[in-house]
Amino acid sequence: MKNFKSTAYLIQATIILFWWLALYTNDVFYNAFQFPNIEKTAFNSFLIPDFIVIALLSLIRSYSNSKELEFIILGGFAFASLYCLNATILSNGGYLATTLMSLGLFYNLFLVYQDKFFRESKSDSSLINGLKTIIQIFCVWLITLVIIPSIILHSLTENPIEGNHAFLSFTLFIGFSLIGLSSAFVFVTIGKGTPLPLDQTKKLVVSGPYKFVRNPMAVAGIGQGICISIYFESIYILAYSILGAFIWHFVVRPIEEKNLLLRFGDEYSKYKKSVKCWIPKIK
Is the pLDDT confidence value at 282 over 80? no
Distances (CA, A) of 98 to 18, 82, 155: 18, 8, 12
DSSP annotation of 34? P
Cα–chain center distance at 134: 19
Q: What are phi and psi of 101, to 5 degrees?
A: -65, -35
| The pLDDT of residue 2 | 55
**Angle (nearest 5°) at CA 103 between 129 and 210:** 40
pLDDT band at 43 (very low <50, low <70, confident <90, very high): confident
| The pLDDT of residue 283 | 64
pLDDT tens-digit profile of 112-123?
Answer: 998 888 999 888
| The pLDDT of residue 175 | 97
Q: pLDDT averaged over the chain?
A: 92
Distance CA 93, CA 154 (A): 11
Distance CA 165, CA 163 (A): 6
Where are the chain's structural domains? 2-112, 126-274
Portion of the chain with pLDDT greater than 90, in percent:
81
Is the pLDDT confidence value at 255 over 70? yes
Is the pLDDT confidence value at 160 over 80? no
Cβ atoms of 224 and 180 closer than 8 Å = yes
Name which of 67, 23, 72, 28 is nearest 47 in CA terms.
Answer: 23
pLDDT band at 110 (very low <50, low <70, confident <90, very high): very high
Distance CA 50, CA 133 (A): 37
Q: Output helix, strand, coil percentages for the chain, rounded to the nearest 5.
A: 75, 0, 25
Distances (CA, A) of 183 to 77, 104, 135, 197, 277: 34, 28, 15, 14, 14
Mean pLDDT of 10-23: 95
Give per-residue burial for 125-147: e unless 16+ CB within 10 Å, then b. eeeebbebbeebbeeeeeebbee
pLDDT tens-digit profile of 174-219?
Answer: 999 999 999 999 999 999 999 999 899 999 999 999 999 999 999 9
DSSP annotation of 192? S
| The pLDDT of residue 158 | 63
Name which of 144, 200, 150, 207 is nearest 176 in CA terms.
Answer: 144
| The pLDDT of residue 123 | 86
Name which of 140, 130, 226, 135 is nearest 176 in CA terms.
Answer: 226
| The pLDDT of residue 163 | 63
pLDDT tens-digit profile of 74-89?
Answer: 999 999 999 999 999 9
Q: What are phi and psi of 138, to 5 degrees?
A: -60, -45
| The pLDDT of residue 4 | 83
Is the pLDDT confidence value at 145 over 70? yes
| The pLDDT of residue 186 | 95
Name which of 229, 145, 220, 222 is nearest 184 in CA terms.
Answer: 220
